[in-house]
Structure 1
């Protein structure tokens, strides 16, 4: 085994954690963000005269999704393959960059909570608006757990 490689047990644990992140979070985000954007555009259009409508939410979700898609691609194409090859001293740089991007997502999540009034539709909101709030809350919660898993478990294993 090469000197920079991690032990086989860690390789297996790393592989399982990466597979979980890819399936549970990366694929889920790719499915749910377009639906949330669609719902937000519909609510913003249908309720254009309503002062409570989440103005700018669709654009914010689209920005988040664009940033997230680029971030996930860097993980999938660069960082995760490096991890599966055992890491090495240079892995610190892409991990540090990914963690900085996670901090940017935290800021985007604050804006998401603000635009959705903490995921609370107004009294008497239509079914689409209620579904939008539920979808945004799920995206928020999934992103929080996704970043926690990467920062505290996956990345921490390589930063030692």
Structure 2
């Protein structure tokens, strides 16, 4: 699992409808598929290697909490914000956008904790394949979430900023 480089803004759809569709397919659905896999890997590593000094105790629970918060956030976007945007509701999105950006800040704190628990996504020497796969999954989750938030904060949300 290698992390794809961030798409330059020019490579992203310039139309809000197409950009929303891109976000849903590239990020929302991918997160929904990959978080449960990472949680499962973390549970296995924590169970099998619980006595190892470098065992990432609490990682599975942290990933699970992150996923629950992320799913709640994505549901708000999918059920409220994105439909408002699709209807061109510039005035209506004035409240939800700052809330979504605040939740993005909260997610960044969770990503910092993820890096702490995995010691910077660096598995210990001699780590088993499951442990290596877990840290690769965590690296990808981190990169994808950061890029997801960047696309929304820096590309999508400004499309709906009030005229200057």
TM-score past 0.5 threshold: yes
Cα deviation for residue 79 of structure 1 reads 0.2
Cα deviation for residue 100 of structure 1 reads 0.2
- Residue 66 of structure 1 corresponds to 68
Cα deviation for residue 111 of structure 1 reads 0.2
Cα deviation for residue 88 of structure 1 reads 2.7
RMSD over aligned Cα atoms: 0.9
Q: What CA deviation, in whole Å up to 9, does each residue of 1:15-62 have, x standing for no partner? A: 110000000000000000000000000000000110100010000000
- Residue 18 of structure 2 corresponds to 16
List structure 1 runs of 4+ shifted beyond 3 angstroms. none
- Within a 5 Å distance, the mapping from 1:43-62 to structure 2 comes to 43-62=45-64
TM-score, normalised with respect to structure 1:
0.91
> Quick check: which has more Rg, 1 or 2?
1
Indicate conservation of the 8 Å contact 2:81/2:96, yes or no: yes
Cα deviation for residue 90 of structure 1 reads 2.6
- Taking the aligned partners of 1:67 and 1:124, their CA distance within structure 2 comes to 33
- Taking the aligned partners of 1:50 and 1:67, their CA distance within structure 2 comes to 29
- Taking the aligned partners of 1:70 and 1:115, their CA distance within structure 2 comes to 23
Unpaired segments ≥5 residues, structure 1: 1-11
- Within a 5 Å distance, the mapping from 1:99-118 to structure 2 comes to 99-118=101-120
Which structure: greater helix fraction?
1
- Taking the aligned partners of 2:47 and 2:94, their CA distance within structure 1 comes to 45
- Taking the aligned partners of 1:82 and 1:24, their CA distance within structure 2 comes to 20
Q: What CA deviation, in whole Å up to 9, does each residue of 1:72-127 have, x standing for no partner? A: 00000000000000023131100010000000000000000000111110000000
- Taking the aligned partners of 1:113 and 1:75, their CA distance within structure 2 comes to 26
- Residue 28 of structure 1 corresponds to 30
